[in-house]
Amino acid sequence: MIKINKKKEGVYVFKLKSSNGRTLLKSIPFSSKEDLDKTLQEIKAKQNTRAKIFERKTTTDGKFLIQLKNAVGETVGSSGLYSSEAGMENGILNIKNSLNTDQ
């Protein structure tokens, strides 16, 4: 599920949530709802292609995280930390599912 919020600073952010309500990924701030919507449409269109919208990262202490990239390769969101690589891969599957679920 995609949850969009307008912050009091006037920026928009989105969270991708699992079916049980757990936050999978938090976005960067967007200056307008139109920019946020455009980015989400691009990501949805590219998620099942060979486009590199998911970047897998490892922290210095051995934890794993996912960064979501837009069409030009900029980071538009980051996941929480995972304790295993398998957990991170499962997180990507959950993110893909949440992108396909209406708000």
What is 47-70 written as a DSSP string? TTSS---EEEEE-TTS-EEEEEE-
Report pLDDT digits (tens) over 35-77.
Answer: 999 999 999 888 777 768 999 999 999 999 999 999 889 999 9
Q: Average the pLDDT over 29-37 and give the result.
A: 95
The tally of domains found in the chain comes to: 1
**Of residues 70, 74, 77, the one with CA closest to residue 95:** 77
Question: Domain span at residue 23?
Answer: 2-99
Report pLDDT digits (tens) over 73-92.
Answer: 999 999 999 999 999 999 99
Instruction: With a cut of 60, say whether residue 103 has pLDDT above it.
Output: no
Q: Give the single-character DSSP code of 82.
A: B
- The CATH number of the domain where 52 resides is what? 2.30.29.80
Whole-number pLDDT of residue 60? 95
What is the pLDDT confidence band of residue 102, given thresholds at 50, 70 and 90? low
Instruction: In whole angstroms, give the CA distance from residue 95 to residue 79.
Output: 9
Whole-model pTM? 0.86
What is the pLDDT confidence band of residue 14, given thresholds at 50, 70 and 90? very high
Instruction: In whole angstroms, give the CA distance from residue 37 to residue 12.
Output: 10
Q: Is the dihedral of CA 93, 76, 72, 8 positive or negative?
A: positive
